[in-house]
Every structure is written in C-alpha cells, then in structure tokens.
Amino acid sequence: MYSKDGNMKDVKTPRICDVVWHNGEFINWNDARVHVMSHVLHYGSSIFEGIRCYSTTEGPAVFRLREHMQRFLNSAKIYRMDHPWTLDDLCSATVDLIRRSGMDQCYIRPILFRSLDEAHPAFGVNPFPNPLACYIGAWDWGKYLGDEAIEQGVDVCVSTWNRLTPNSMPAMAKSGANYMNSQLIKMEALLNGFAEGIALDDRGYVSEGSGENIFLVTGDVVLTPPLSSSILPGITRDSVIQICQELGITVKERTIQRAALYVADELFFSGTAAEITPIRSVDRIAVGQGGRGSITEKIQKVFFEITKGERPAPGKWLTYVNETKSAPTDHNGYTPAKVRDDSDTTPILSFQTAAKD
C-alpha cells in the first residue's frame, strides 16, 4: 500500500547506462540534454517506447524488440514526425547500447521529439519548424508496482479521470502528451492509498491502467478491452493473448463494464514495466479470494519462463544481444549493426488476435 502523501518511490533504479544513443551516435549520459525552450517541453511533442531486456543463460535478451520499434515508428507516423530512422537502425542501436552498457538486464527508453533549432528558433504550436531529436537510453529497473506485487497483487481504484477519447488524443500512439492523462490517474490513485488507477473510456467502459493494459478472468474465460476502448495496443497484452491461445485458455476482446471488475474471479495488469501484475482489490472490493488467481499465475509463469529464455515463445520474441552481430563502431560513433532477425514480424495491428463473437 502506498503512503497517502504520494511521495513514496514506486521504482528501484540500481543502475543507469552511462551512454545514450543520439541521432546515430553514442554520447555520454551527462551530455544528453535539451534547451528549455524546446517544443517538446511546452507542447508535449514526443513519442516514445518502453522495452525490457531480460537476463537469460545466453546473456541479455530483448523482449519483442521489433514489435516495440514498429509501434515507435507507428506513433511517429501518426504525429507526422518525418525522421530518417528505419526499424533495423533502431533495433541495431538498441542492441549496441545494451552491449555498451554491460548490463545483463535493463529497461530501454527510445524517444523521438521536437526540439529547438537555436540558429532559427521557433516557439509556436506549429511543430514543423522544430527539428526532431531521437535518443535511446537504458537503466536497470526493478518491479514497477513493487517487489511483492507480482505474487501478492496490488490494490487499485477506478479513476475519476477518463481515458483519452479516440478523436482527441489517439491512445494507440505512445506519445508523451498522453501521459499527462496517465499522471492524473496515477496521482489520484497514490494520494488515495492505491497502487494504481483504472481509467474508464469516454463511454464508461473499462479502458486500462495509467501504464498497463488490463485483463479480467471470469470462470475459465479471459477478457480484455478492445482497441476501441482507447487503449494502447500493448505488446505484453498481445503476448498474454498468444500465451492464452497456446495454453488452450479462451481469450476474448470485449467491452467491459466497471461493475464487472467487482465481480471478476481474477484481474491482472499487463505491461512492459508492470509485466503481469495481479490485482487483488478494486475500490476496496476484493477480487475473487483477494489475491493472485490460478489462471493469472499460470499465464504469469509461462510469461516469465519465456522472458528468461527457458521456454519457447509462440513467436520469435527474444533478441539475444550477444548473438546479434554488430558492425564495429568508429570514432564517429554509430555504425548500423545487423540485428539477427529472430523476432516475430507480425504487424502491430494484428494485435487483435483474440477470438471475437
């Protein structure tokens, strides 16, 4: 449970990679800075990703790297960010960064944003005159919703804040500005003593957490809101759907009413940071027996076995950093490396793979 003042740290960051990839070169962490009059700081003009690299017996392995970078490219396209980076460039840069970091596991944060051309400054809302800057950083990140959360589950509330409407801010783009909405949801939850908030969409149906997708288990059926409920098309969500299908568990995309949360047998969040985190209460109403349910545990177990490289995934989900060939970098910094193409290249929009009826 979180303190009511909302100041409690909810993350552990034991280590930060001391280099950052910037527009094709590696620079020192301390040099990765922007001007305070950059467009992004005033108008929220950024898109980003959150990716995890797991420790395996064959060294660090990035989970669904190509899918994350494809979503990054999709977000950039939606916001008309005309940049030169290809999927392969971004994947290679990530692998090189992890190799340079020497970290066995980490969280990776690519970001593309509108900055400031100091020679020809532009300060208006119109983003086009502002140059784009692309960075990738990495740090070691602990369990997002707390160490015990994975087993014990978390206490959450339904937020008074709604998720974005589809024709105001597109939830399917992972833009920095969307996270102002997420911050309202998160702050309200923390200040009221909850670990996380669940937002409803503008029609009143369940959408998602401030940084996670949500799943509901009723009997032996697993349900999750569709993309039309203003959710981010989560890569972990897609992984859960595919894991359920492999385990023979029925999984469906359905609009979900708020009240269904209170009578669900099990609930859990999915997300890169949160991984698979059980929800043990909503608005102080116990979910099922008030702890992690058996179907959640089964899915969680398979998910963690896959991320540790201990079990084959339904697709080629791991990019092994040590097995991925990298061209040598020279003093100018970045030379694109060839990433072993071992990821599932299914287009991101095929994420609606769950059965519908």
Q: Smallest gap, in angstroms, from Cβ of residue 320 to ligand PLP? A: 20
Q: For ligand PLP, which is the closer residue by CB, 115 or 242?
A: 242
What does the alpha-carbon distance between residue 6 and residue 189 come to, in Å, rounded to a whole number? Answer: 9
Q: For ligand PLP, which is the closer residue by CB, 235 or 337?
A: 235
Which residues, 6+ apart, have CB-to-CB distance to 95 below 8 Å? 62, 65, 319, 321, 324, 326, 337, 339
Q: Smallest gap, in angstroms, from Cβ of residue 154 to ligand PLP? A: 15
Q: Smallest gap, in angstroms, from Cβ of residue 272 to ligand PLP? A: 3
Q: Smallest gap, in angstroms, from Cβ of residue 212 to ligand PLP? A: 5
Paired strand residues for 333:
330
Q: For ligand PLP, which is the closer residue by CB, 212 or 266?
A: 212
Q: For ligand PLP, which is the closer residue by CB, 64 or 115?
A: 64
Under 8 Å between Cβ of 159 and 182: no
In order, the DSSP letters of 27-38 are EEGGG----TT-
| Number of neighbouring beta carbons within 10 Å of residue 294 | 13
In 3D, which of 289, 283, 288 has the Cα closest to residue 265? 288
Residue positions annotated with a catalytic role: 174
Per CB under 6 A, residues contacting ligand PLP are 50, 182, 208, 211-213, 232, 234-237, 270-272
**Number of residues assigned to the chain:** 357
Q: For ligand PLP, which is the closer residue by CB, 19 or 158?
A: 158
Q: What distances in angstroms separate CA 338 from CA 28, 59, 87, 275, 319, one per listed residue? A: 24, 18, 11, 28, 12
Q: What distances in angstroms separate CA 192 from CA 4, 24, 223, 265, 281, one per listed residue? A: 6, 44, 28, 24, 14
Q: Smallest gap, in angstroms, from Cβ of residue 335 to ligand PLP? A: 29
Task: Give the three-state DSSP class for 189.
Answer: helix
